[in-house]
Structure 1
Amino acid sequence: MSHARRTAEAYADIDPEKFGARPARRTRPRTKDRPDYSDAEVGRVLTVDRGRFRCQMLDSGVLLTAAKARQLGRKGVIVGDLVRVVGDTSGEEGTLARIVEVEPRSTVLLRTADDTDPTERPIVANADQLMIVSALADPPPRPGMIDRLLVAAYDAGISPILCLTKADLAEPDEIIELYEPLGVPVVVTEPGSQLDEVDELLVDHVTVLVGHSGVGKSTLINRLVPGADRSTAEVSEATGRGRHTSTSAVALQLPGGSGWVIDTPGVRSFGLSHVTCESVLGAFGDLTEFTRDCPRGCRHTDEEPECGLDEAVAAGRLTPGRLASFRRIVTALLEQSG
């Protein structure tokens, strides 16, 4: 006789009313209800440092430090995020609040380590402008990097601005001529110059500043936000490159509360593996009209026959340098996507 049958016969005469029936595994029904944080205070994330988030509450203006709640799991919280905060929101020294929800983002600026890295790295949330900061000399401007940042801005739905610094060392005319066809606002600064034109572009906006190390980005921030005290450094004479002075992004409110600027660490590369070729073409708005007569399926590389961009160069309507910059990015994207 099997063990199962012997066990069944042994318990056959037991009265279930006397000894009670086997209890259910769960005596409490499961619930899909989740805590309601709709009344929780909302703050803006200003800095992120080793799992601690410095926030400014929107209504009270209180500055506080918060940790991320466990229920958020791996959901990232980045500078610029609007978050709901509970717990001790007094902002007093030694207190720690808790971020329980991240509000939907209007925009996210992304980058990858390089064009072969599939991992998207969110930099800043909820910015509506991206100011590309480029020195005119020391270090010299790099149109290839400017183009990449323009692509990232257009792909994220963020309006770009080009800020050319150190105009005391070189003339800006060549760079302005290169980007004028795109309709991108261009502002030019030099040490001690008035920043009225820059201020006008920043009012009532959230603007993230991105650029190479040593281009004067932190210096510009310090002038826009007195007391910001962002670290600055000279450009190395040996390499012609600046040293990283800002190690993390930080959001700073402009005087009078008229807007926000977000300073980011200097970059030496800006991967675009998350961007499509269509997004690249959208960033080069001055090229669009030349691609209308391209053969179907044209990828606009230098290997494509009868590409309208080559015809535009031959006709003198497009500069070879502008086309080369566009094709560098497209080729890199096509290679990384296989």
Structure 2
Amino acid sequence: MVAVDRGRYTCLVESAGEKGRRRKKDHVEGAAMSGRVVVAMKARELGRKGIVVGDRVALVGDVSGMEDTLARVVRVEPRVSMLRRSADDTDNTDGIERPVVANADQLVIVTALADPPPRPRMIDRMLVAAFDADIESLLCLTKSDLASPEELVALYAPLGVPYVVVQKGGGLDEVRRRLEGRISVLVGHSGVGKSTLVNALVPDANRAVSHVNAVTGRGRHTSTSAVALELPEGGWIIDTPGVRSFGLAHVSVETVLAGFPDLIEGTVQCPKGCNHLSDECALDAWVAAGHADPARLASLRRLLASREGAPEEDHPQDP
């Protein structure tokens, strides 16, 4: 599944192109694809089962991809991973899970170093979502011609999160190397340069690029829906709409803690139901005794606080 739009599902059904055939679509939002593109609708028997970009599905009916044909999605194959976020106060709902993409193996967190400034709270929440989905994370730092990455890199060094730095007109070789052969989902706040990055990686993607408001520091949501784009070097990137919040109501404390195996043993003496943020937490004594790096405990608590805290949109200037 490479795109979803108003009840129509765009699927890539073959790895080799059939250039002699007339297709319904040779691209999705300008991105060329090597397989046959078929548009489908969801079969009634699937009921309310959701289908998202990245899903692998079974189709029946007319799968020729010819003009004015429509196949049916009759089955969603088991998912390897599911990146999710929870609806929060800005969505006027109550902790409802929202799937972002399926079957990705890498979350690329795109953040600008300036214009707009980095928002560590948002980055923390995305890292927690990656822990929950059991996929790897990569920090992609853009606009390094405007600010140094050193401070932000140092903040995430205790977590061991890999990073790449991109500046205007350069720095893409390392990005391509880390994306090659993988299914990577790109997520970032509006205005961080995500669409510009996608257009550089997939030259015929033609993703719309926005400008950042000089007063609010916010960009316009130029990507309105997720779309999977095939990389020339091999692999896929899934571009997603810019986000202003990333709710984590669906993520448990245990899931976050699982990302810190060096601290888990220290929680044995914690009181039942410990959220590892209170004074009763045994991790302070464990770390003070030299069993783990204090910076790792600080990082864990920062992620846990971001899980329980107010939505990012409520704190646009959070350090």
- TM-score band by shorter chain is 0.7 to 0.9
> Counterpart of 2:219 in 1: which secondary structure?
coil
TM-score (normalised: structure 2) = 0.82
Q: What's the RMSD between the two structures over aligned residues? A: 2.5
Matched, 1:77 2:51: yes
After alignment, is 56-65 or 225-234 more displaced? 56-65
Look up the equivalent residue of 1:297 and give its one-letter code: K
**Alignment map for 1:159-238 (pairs within 5 Å):** 159-238=136-215
Query: 2:237 pairs with 225, 242, 261, which one?
Result: 261
Q: 2:214 & 2:201 partners in 1: Cα distance?
A: 28
Contact 2:107/2:185, CA 8 A, preserved across alignment: yes
Kindly, what percent of the aligned residue pairs are identical?
Answer: 54
> Counterpart of 2:100 in 1: which secondary structure?
strand
Q: 2:298 & 2:123 partners in 1: Cα distance?
A: 13
* Post-superposition offset of 1:177: 1.1
Cα–Cα, structure 1 residues 104 and 298, in superposed 2: closer, same or farther, change >3 Å?
A: closer
In structure 1, list runs of 5 or more residues that go unmatched: 1-44, 334-338
Q: 2:111 & 2:171 partners in 1: Cα distance?
A: 18
* Post-superposition offset of 1:290: 8.6
After alignment, is 309-318 or 293-302 more displaced? 309-318
Contact 2:159/2:296, CA 8 A, preserved across alignment: no
Report 1 or 2 for greater relative contact order, CA contacts < 8 Å, sequence distance ≥ 6: 2
2:5 is matched with which residue?
49
Contact 2:249/2:307, CA 8 A, preserved across alignment: no
* Post-superposition offset of 1:89: 1.4
Look up the equivalent residue of 2:44 and give its one-letter code: R
2:122 is matched with which residue?
145
Q: 2:307 & 2:44 partners in 1: Cα distance?
A: 41
- Quick check: which has more Rg, 1 or 2? 1
**Alignment map for 1:30-179 (pairs within 5 Å):** 45-60=1-16, 61-114=35-88, 117-179=94-156
Q: 2:269 & 2:110 partners in 1: Cα distance?
A: 34
Q: 1:307 & 1:330 partners in 2: Cα distance?
A: 20
Matched, 1:277 2:253: yes
Q: 1:331 & 1:195 partners in 2: Cα distance?
A: 35
* Post-superposition offset of 1:84: 1.0
Contact 2:125/2:307, CA 8 A, preserved across alignment: no
TM-score (normalised: structure 1) = 0.78
> Counterpart of 1:265 in 2: which secondary structure?
coil
* Post-superposition offset of 1:295: 2.9
* Post-superposition offset of 1:95: 1.3
Cα–Cα, structure 1 residues 128 and 191, in superposed 2: closer, same or farther, change >3 Å?
A: same
1:32 is matched with which residue?
none
Look up the equivalent residue of 1:189 and give its one-letter code: V
**Alignment map for 1:243-322 (pairs within 5 Å):** 243-256=220-233, 258-283=234-259, 285=260, 288=263, 291-292=266-267, 294-297=269-272, 299-305=274-280, 307-309=282-284, 312=287, 317-318=294-295, 322=299
Cα–Cα, structure 1 residues 330 and 131, in superposed 2: closer, same or farther, change >3 Å?
A: closer
Cα–Cα, structure 1 residues 139 and 290, in superposed 2: closer, same or farther, change >3 Å?
A: farther
* Post-superposition offset of 1:282: 2.8
Q: 1:238 & 1:174 partners in 2: Cα distance?
A: 24
In structure 2, list runs of 5 or more residues that go unmatched: 17-34, 311-319
How many aligned positions are there? 287
Look up the equivalent residue of 1:55 and give its one-letter code: C
Q: 1:167 & 1:137 partners in 2: Cα distance?
A: 8
* Post-superposition offset of 1:326: 3.0
> Counterpart of 1:192 in 2: which secondary structure?
coil
Q: 2:266 & 2:154 partners in 1: Cα distance?
A: 21
Cα–Cα, structure 1 residues 319 and 105, in superposed 2: closer, same or farther, change >3 Å?
A: closer
Contact 1:206/1:261, CA 8 A, preserved across alignment: yes
Cα–Cα, structure 1 residues 93 and 330, in superposed 2: closer, same or farther, change >3 Å?
A: closer
> Counterpart of 1:228 in 2: which secondary structure?
coil
Q: 2:50 & 2:280 partners in 1: Cα distance?
A: 45
> Counterpart of 1:240 in 2: which secondary structure?
coil
* Post-superposition offset of 1:324: 5.7
Cα–Cα, structure 1 residues 69 and 293, in superposed 2: closer, same or farther, change >3 Å?
A: closer
Q: 2:145 & 2:45 partners in 1: Cα distance?
A: 53
* Post-superposition offset of 1:288: 2.0
Look up the equivalent residue of 2:8 and give its one-letter code: R
* Post-superposition offset of 1:80: 0.6
After alignment, is 57-66 or 160-169 more displaced? 57-66
Contact 1:246/1:264, CA 8 A, preserved across alignment: yes
> Counterpart of 2:294 in 1: which secondary structure?
coil
Cα–Cα, structure 1 residues 81 and 168, in superposed 2: closer, same or farther, change >3 Å?
A: same
